[in-house]
Amino acid sequence: MFFKKKPLKKTEFAKKFAKQLIEKIKGLKITLINELEVRSEFNGEEHQHFLDNCYSEYIADIKSIKKTIENTLLALLKFTYLKNL
């Protein structure tokens, strides 16, 4: 018997995203997770991330969660966290 995998709820998805963000950026602190909003602090600066588009991509193909999160993380690293380093 096969069971269809249930998609993560918004907050579960955001927590998974935040965990991977912390793993990528040493010294980053997550200050808030509220549904699809993640706030972080890094090098004295606050950052706010809205994961609506990322979550929509995930819902369209829940098997691609790793790739979906990784693509969003790469963009964040490039345009948010590493721009001043």
Q: How many residues does the chain have?
A: 85
Two structure tokens written together for 85: 């380093």
pTM of the model: 0.86
Report the share of the chain in percent with pLDDT over 70: 91
Q: What whole-number distance in Å separates Cα of residue 26 and Cα of residue 64?
A: 25
Q: What is the pLDDT of residues 35-61, one digit of tens each?
A: 999 999 998 999 999 999 999 999 999
> Which ranges constitute the DSSP H helices of the chain?
10-24, 52-60, 65-76
Torsion of CA 62, 56, 54, 17, to 10 degrees: -50
Residue-range domain boundaries for the chain: 10-81
Longest dimension (CA), the chain: 52
Instruction: Assign 84 a pLDDT band (cuts: 50, 70, 90).
Output: low
